[in-house]
Structure 1
Amino acid sequence: MRNTAKITTAVLTAGALSLGLTACGGSDDEAASTDGPLVVAATPVPHAEVLTFVKDNLAKDAGLDLEVKEFTDYVTPNTATEDGSVTANYFQTTPYLDDFNKKNGTHLVPVVSVHVEPLGLYSDKFEKVDELKNGSTIAVPNDTANEARALKLLADNGLIELKKGSEADATPADITKNPKKLEFKEIEAAQTPRALGDVDAAVVNGNYAIEADLKPAEDALVLEAAENSPFGNYLVVKEGSQDDPRVKKLEKLLTSPEVKKFIEDKYAGSVLATF
């Protein structure tokens, strides 16, 4: 992607694991500085694409020096934002963010919701959800927020029933009814599209579906409802950086008519602006 620094998951994940949340290349002073470019971590599609559109078409006129760093996992962007290696990130929902903060002791806060990517159930073997056979295996993301979201999608479409009150953090252990005796394979969210050849179906996050050349609006057996969705994707910063003038400029640009039109034109209903 033009003018975008791409960082591989393997290197960054190893760095995050070995150095933890404290210092993998930044400091609190650097995180607090408002000088220099605004460095934002993002997963490639659609987040980095949206940011690159802003960088190439809107940022200069707004007086914003924007730098985009691509990450292919859901962990490293948050650890990098926490330790100051980047000032902000754009890839996640608030349920995922809340769970990450709770489990990792991070201090990250949402700034503004930009878009929603409907979660979908996909299959290389079946064309309709009612074709799933008894004992079919379904891959689901293995992080708390996205696994619960995946199971809720299946419950909303009558494939399973969940224990009342478990929706926010449901796991397969919370399934109370499973008429087709579905089996679940819990894997990293980024791997779910690649698992389609090995399972009967997979619940895939919208960004990873688009990266895998899936068209959520056309290819999903069932798709999350986008209207009134609690799963907007947010621009996120470390607590204390919300008033950084550069962040304020990016917040305004990300919710501009130009970005809304870009999302509508490029993603044709597979990504929906939330503003």
Structure 2
Amino acid sequence: MNKLLQGVLVLLVIAGVVIFMIIKKKKKKIDPFPANWHLLLVDHVKFYAELNAEEQKRFQQRIMLFLSEVYIESVSFQLEDLDRLLVASSAVIPVFGFKNWRYSNLSTVILYPDHFDKNLIFENSGEDKIVMGLVGNGRFEHQMILSRRALHEGFDRHNDLLNTGIHEFVHLIDKVDGVTDGVPERLLKQAYIIPWLKMVHKEMEAINAHKSDIRNYGGTNEAEFLATASEYFFENPGLMQRKHPDLYKMLHDCFFPDEKI
């Protein structure tokens, strides 16, 4: 498929989304959780499988709320239930510690079958870069674009410290205050911001000096550090607690403020 055709497909998807959102505003309905989705979650989402029965019920409710508010579309493939569940799980996991969280800055998630060229999405972006996921801006504001392959691999490869879906939703959480800067002000108490930034810069120095097991992308900037460290936190919290106890505690306080370690 040539670049022009792919670009047209994306624009058609966005047009469909606008129509969908207009209709959805007139009639909001939360569907019941399909019984067969429970086993899909148990088999593919470790976070869900480790919850008790009561928490799993709450996770299911959050899944259905998210799917009632955010449109998920695919480009060049047929969307399946597992695709929807993995997108929704990526959204729910980072905010599961918050009872009333809703993604006010997201209307649509667009799935490409594989990694994609950023220039196909943002013309003249100046970056000829193959990416696994991104949070949109400009005419793609309130949109997220994900590689289906990367999304699935993030959940299938347990404990590899990489989960593209969670990574991108943490960027959205970071962006709620208007800027993606690695300081999630909706999660961090004001008094913790300076200690957080000091910790971030210390950890980024370790990454860039190849003295950390946090993956290299976390050394790019503060925003990427937050998203990458959050992947680690949710993928293998026990390992992070042993190897990065201060960072683990700070992230735990951010994502689960009502729970004691």
TM-score of the two chains, using structure 2 as the length reference: 0.29
TM-score of the two chains, using structure 1 as the length reference: 0.28
**Is the strand fraction higher in 1 or 2?**
1
**Is the helix fraction higher in 1 or 2?**
2
Structure with more contact order per residue of length (Cα contacts < 8 Å, sep ≥ 6): 1
